[in-house]
Structure 1
Amino acid sequence: MIGRSLGSAAAMLLAASAQAAPALMPLPKSVTMNGEGELAVAGPLEADWRGCGDPVRLERAAVRLNADILRQTGLILDADKPVAASVTCRTDENAVDAGESYRLTVNAQGFAIDAGGPTGVLRAFATLRQLVGLSPAGIAIPYQTIRDAPRFAWRGVMLDPARHFISVATLKRQIDAMERLKFNTLHLHLSDDQGFRVESRLYPKLNADGDYYRQEEIREIVAYAADRGIRIVPEFDVPGHSRAIVEAYPEIGTISETTFLGVPAVALNPASEGTYEFLERLFGEMAGLFPDPHFHVGGDEVSETVWNDAADVKALMARENLADMKAVEGYFLHRVSKIVRKLGKTMIGWEEVAKAGLPGDTIVQAWQTSNAMADATARGHRTVMSAGYYLNLLMPADYHYAIDPAATSGAGLTPEHAEQLRGLSPLLATVVTDALVDHPHPPLTPEQEELLIGAEAPLWGEIAADELIDHHLWPRAAVLAERFWSPAKVRDESDMYRRLAIVAEQLTVSGLDDQANRLRIATRLAPGDVGPVVDLLAITGPVRNMAHDHRIKAMLAGRRIVQPLNALADAAPVDSLLARRFADEAARYVAGERGLAETLKGRLTAWRDNDARYRAVAAGKPMLEAALPTSALIAGLARSGLAALAALEGGTPLSAAETEEAKRLLAQVAAEEAASWRPFDSFIRPQPAADLIVKIGPGVSALVEAAAAAKD
């Protein structure tokens, strides 16, 4: 029995706002309303745990729940009016991917959770947070029964502290948000060319330059995540992506004599026994810090030329009868797999490892196409799907939401686009490999479906410094939490965006720094008068598909730069929910909800008038002046929208000049959006001013098209 300590914890829980329907994400398997009544919650919960083992972990979860509900409602509950709660676990197993199912019942007596295990209680608590909502007007939740269970056992996010170091505090914020959305895996990419980010006491030179996590910090992060039902999977990328290791210990590395874009390739030396002795000791040290049974070794993007000029590698090929460099790579991975197996771990590697003939228990992470997932499962490997879910490409939420993890095609370049790119230049002919091309494949067989254990959304760190993590990852990751958890039939994108707007606000209120960090960047750019900048950013978004990574463009031009990540495009929301709301309002107005006219007029007038305000604050500030064309485009679109709205309200036609101007502006917006929509196009097509895409085009287009149709 647990008394008032859970009280304030889950007490406020249960409450759906009386003013608005709750926004559940991920959507549960089923929700059944039980009559017309509501459970009013005026005091703390008194709960008892049955069959859940040691209740201390769940008590801590209750404290977190209390803190979130307090933030969401601001209510102080009456301790003399407790609410009964009953929590039952069918097993006391604590694995993060076991016992996650639950049934939540709300009735006049209180609420009950019947969970598959303690982790299922955490998932039920996540739903309760969302049922409470944000209303401070009182807590009441309709009588209902929610039955729920995950579609996939592996539901992950990948973060990249190797490229840009991520502080412990920032990692913890992401873990908190992951718990609220029912993720259960955080994959950390901890080594790459830029750094090795975990303290090694055996090989201290790995930490001589740059930031890293102390071993006690790793243990702290692991325990923090485990408390929230989340595993930490470490990745130490070998044999490629290993420049930081080779620079620290050159005796185990190979540096090619040939270069790509002026840079020699680097990899670990597969011909040296010292390499494997090094990895056995290093991986042994790292494995002791991460208790999860999975250990990711990378294995991706090894240069085809890095070993070509190495005499000892040629000798290895002759001795082991290795036909080519892919066979050398396979030899290396086999040796590494034995090291990982000896540590009692299950090896994970990126999709390249699937063709190395590794043991069948090796887990493959598909990252380039849906085909890679289909091929890996056909080879008998358990597989995690990441193709189509790369959040660092800055695609909108509905793009990712439309790709199902089990689809055997859909993520990757189309054959037609690949051929078009290859014909543009010899460089693209080399870079656009067959591995990037997605061809039609038959559906997964039942056996393959069993091998698809889940999916993971990576946020690579090339243009994601610590300050940008919260708003690059969220709220878009929430829709992938739904894609990975909810039944495959959950597909309604309009309803997804409706719920996402509410969930995004809950995440911010509960502790994310997404809005605070965006405002911080904007304030640095416009101290003393940030309002016009904030208003511009709210309805724009950054260019897609690495177009904002200016380092790539510089390398293509034979230069090297360090890109500061403090520009307008870094502060813009990846998915403008305000622009989405405007488009929805415009569509509803055109469909007959004429009461929305004043709302639309107010938005459009503010956007039109913001141009003069923005020009005043931007004067003499080059980083803001870069977006003067963006501000002018917004104002022009707003004027066109107002003209169309006036025509529809007054029953008068748009003039020919107004119609032509609106079409011109809308064509410009569409072209700027398309310029970075597809991979590689972002490097060969001109990008919009300040790397910003204006997002109000669809809403304005709906009004203009309706006005034009009425004229005819």
Structure 2
Amino acid sequence: MQLRIITLTTIVAIIMAAIVHAAEDSSELPLVPYPRQVTYEKGSFTPGKKLTLSYDAGAAALKPLAQTIAQDLSANGFECGHHTHGTKPSNSITLRLQDDGSFGDEGYRLTIAQGITLTAATPTGIFWGSRTLLQLLHAGPQNPIAQLTINDAPEFLHRGLMIDNARKFHSIDFHLKMIKRMAALKLNRYQIHFSDHQSYTLPSTAFPTLPTKDQHYTRAQIQQLVDTAHQYHVQIIPEIDVPGHAAALIRSIPSLGCTTTTNNKPARKLCIGNPQTYQALEKLFTEVMDMIPGDYWHLGADEVHYNNIQCTACLATMKSQKLENGTQLYHHFINRMHDVVKGKERTMFVWEGFDPKGTPKIHPDIIVCPFDIKHKGRMPSDYFNAGYTILNTAWSPLYVADNIYMCTPEAIARWSPFMFGAGRSPQPFTYWKKFNPKTHRNKIIGAQMCSWDNEEKAEEGLLLGTGPGFPEYGRPAPRLPIMAERVWTGTQTTTKSLLERTGASYW
């Protein structure tokens, strides 16, 4: 596949075009997400066309970062050189690694005086500060910006987006561009749903028949995905959805299905009693992890039931493990997969579905992703009380699904990651379950917007409010920028301010 050259011109423009209407005399900057603290000084700074990126020659980690920043600034009309020692030149951007105990891993300080200084304890902090700077310099050379100091850090560790790649295949070019758009909004986790009933979209040497014809990537494309994510400080979270949503795996490897099926229909869930299933999954997971390095893995594990088991392999495993029913076998499977994932030094996510009070006890290291507070009568608090950490993926307002179920910009702007809405709810305000930030701060690691079963051409409009998919795909809105502010800044900004800065409106 011939790939287009992707710059940040369009990406930052998507964010900025909606907010340039902000009044010139407003004290609020046209930034999304909005920084935690902005202190204005007297005067302004006018950047020239030629900017110099200055950093300590001993800080080797800043060299590739400076190159990325220079590349991104060139899309706004600037010409950037590097300077690593001696007297700091005028019209410069100084990158400074300094740990004073106030930044954390992702915080930064951006100072604009008669020059620009970005200070952080880590390269990641410097990078997020550069995303703010790109928005401030969006107008290009010779356009003055206020002298100020910004102190900023994220409210939540996990700030994510999920794309369903298995039901509707997306080009690698889409993913590369989306990573940069996420980074512009300071989102740092990109979950890709690589497999489902419809297709398996990764390459595989271990199982050559597994990749779905004309709907999978090459290893070179996956390497490009990994390299771009690393460059833009985004982690890829692979999801191979098992043991349900597994028809694509079973079509390719029939031995993974149970020995008996319902009404003679093809198997759509894995045989979790067969030792060969565990061996095959460990081999497959290892292959994917080798291709896509990182700290996380998503097992899926949702919307599957093992009732009235007749499969001889499942019955044999239940007997040997002293399991009383299919639900306990399902718990056993999740724990076995957790052992594999933890052995690879990764943290495992699962969608809600298991009984937090069930046996055998699901390992407490697993992070749960609740998506419907009405599901089986369970609530996020049931998982909290059982000792689990949660990633908020609540259907309302975080699902953008099937071009049918999605919340309004206002609903997302009124939300925080401590709020969970009911699935498919047209009035999420009525059903939101709210948790106290003081008591649940360490129980919720963040939030993730999930785009399910949407065609590639619709994603930009449904998530960002722009793009080619309209009017065929209705209801465009900047859902992702609004969510990004709530998961970075929390609720310190008002609903009105957030809607205005993203160009959204009350529906």
TM-score by structure 2 length?
0.81
SS of the residue corresponding to residue 195 of structure 1 reads: coil
Q: Distance in 1 between matches of 2:141 and 2:194?
A: 45
SS of the residue corresponding to residue 171 of structure 1 reads: helix
Deviation at 1:52, TM superposition (A): 4.3
Q: Does 1:267 align with 2:269?
A: yes
8 Å contact from structure 1 (residues 256, 266) kept in 2: no
Q: 1:442 to 1:83 in 2, by over 3 A?
A: closer
Deviation at 1:118, TM superposition (A): 0.9
Q: Does 1:119 align with 2:124?
A: yes
Deviation at 1:106, TM superposition (A): 1.1
Q: Distance in 2 between matches of 1:488 and 1:76?
A: 37
Please tell me the residue identity of whatever aligns with 2:285. F
8 Å contact from structure 2 (residues 305, 327) kept in 1: no
SS of the residue corresponding to residue 292 of structure 2 reads: coil
Q: Does 1:222 align with 2:226?
A: yes
Q: 1:98 to 1:347 in 2, by over 3 A?
A: farther
Deviation sequence 1:563-593 (CA, Å, 0-9, x none): xxxxxxxxxxxxxx5xx4xx8xxxxxxxxxx
Deviation sequence 1:330-370 (CA, Å, 0-9, x none): 01112111221222222211122463622222122222239
SS of the residue corresponding to residue 283 of structure 1 reads: helix
SS of the residue corresponding to residue 291 of structure 2 reads: coil
SS of the residue corresponding to residue 210 of structure 2 reads: helix
Hey, what does 1:399 align to over in structure 2?
Answer: 411
Q: Does 1:317 align with 2:323?
A: no
Q: Distance in 1 between matches of 2:81 and 2:153?
A: 34
Hey, what does 2:467 align to over in structure 1?
Answer: none
Q: Distance in 2 between matches of 1:146 and 1:19?
A: 20
Deviation sequence 1:133-191 (CA, Å, 0-9, x none): 44x69410011111100000110000111111111111111111111110011011111
8 Å contact from structure 2 (residues 53, 66) kept in 1: no
Q: Does 1:83 align with 2:95?
A: no
Deviation at 1:114, TM superposition (A): 1.4
Hey, what does 1:329 align to over in structure 2?
Answer: 330
- Aligned residues between the structures: 454
Larger radius of gyration: 1
Deviation at 1:314, TM superposition (A): 2.9
Percent identity (aligned): 26
8 Å contact from structure 1 (residues 377, 452) kept in 2: no
Q: 1:255 to 1:483 in 2, by over 3 A?
A: farther
Q: Distance in 1 between matches of 2:37 and 2:69?
A: 24
Please tell me the residue identity of whatever aligns with 2:450. P
Hey, what does 1:373 align to over in structure 2?
Answer: 380
Q: Distance in 2 between matches of 1:264 and 1:24?
A: 51
Deviation at 1:77, TM superposition (A): 9.7
Q: Distance in 2 between matches of 1:441 and 1:82?
A: 50
Q: 1:256 to 1:493 in 2, by over 3 A?
A: farther
Unpaired stretches in structure 1, ≥5 consecutive residues: 1-8, 10-14, 419-436, 502-576, 584-697, 699-712
TM-score by structure 1 length?
0.59
SS of the residue corresponding to residue 45 of structure 1 reads: strand
Deviation sequence 1:426-483 (CA, Å, 0-9, x none): xxxxxxxxxxx9686763663x4213111111111x2x11222222221310111101
Q: Does 1:160 align with 2:160?
A: no
Q: 1:195 to 1:91 in 2, by over 3 A?
A: farther
Please tell me the residue identity of whatever aligns with 1:478. P
8 Å contact from structure 2 (residues 51, 80) kept in 1: no
Q: Does 1:62 align with 2:66?
A: no
Q: Distance in 1 between matches of 2:500 and 2:348?
A: 40
8 Å contact from structure 1 (residues 353, 364) kept in 2: no
SS of the residue corresponding to residue 177 of structure 2 reads: helix
SS of the residue corresponding to residue 197 of structure 1 reads: coil
Hey, what does 1:471 align to over in structure 2?
Answer: 461
Hey, what does 1:251 align to over in structure 2?
Answer: 255
Q: Does 1:385 align with 2:395?
A: no
8 Å contact from structure 1 (residues 383, 451) kept in 2: yes
Hey, what does 1:295 align to over in structure 2?
Answer: 297
- 2:449 is aligned, of 457, 465, 489, to 457
Q: Distance in 2 between matches of 1:240 and 1:294?
A: 20
Q: Distance in 2 between matches of 1:467 and 1:194?
A: 19
Q: 1:39 to 1:203 in 2, by over 3 A?
A: same
Q: Distance in 1 between matches of 2:80 and 2:301?
A: 54
Please tell me the residue identity of whatever aligns with 1:247. R
Q: 1:78 to 1:255 in 2, by over 3 A?
A: closer
Q: 1:77 to 1:223 in 2, by over 3 A?
A: closer
8 Å contact from structure 1 (residues 373, 385) kept in 2: no
Q: 1:208 to 1:32 in 2, by over 3 A?
A: closer
Hey, what does 1:239 align to over in structure 2?
Answer: 243
Please tell me the residue identity of whatever aligns with 1:403. W
When the two chains are superposed, the root-mean-square deviation of aligned CA atoms in Å is 3.4
8 Å contact from structure 1 (residues 91, 99) kept in 2: no
Q: Does 1:487 align with 2:479?
A: no
Unpaired stretches in structure 2, ≥5 consecutive residues: 1-8, 10-15, 83-88, 465-477
- 1:206 is aligned, of 207, 210, 213, to 210
8 Å contact from structure 1 (residues 478, 500) kept in 2: yes
Q: 1:496 to 1:232 in 2, by over 3 A?
A: same
Deviation at 1:312, TM superposition (A): 3.0
Q: 1:78 to 1:466 in 2, by over 3 A?
A: closer
Deviation at 1:224, TM superposition (A): 0.4
Q: Distance in 2 between matches of 1:88 and 1:499?
A: 30
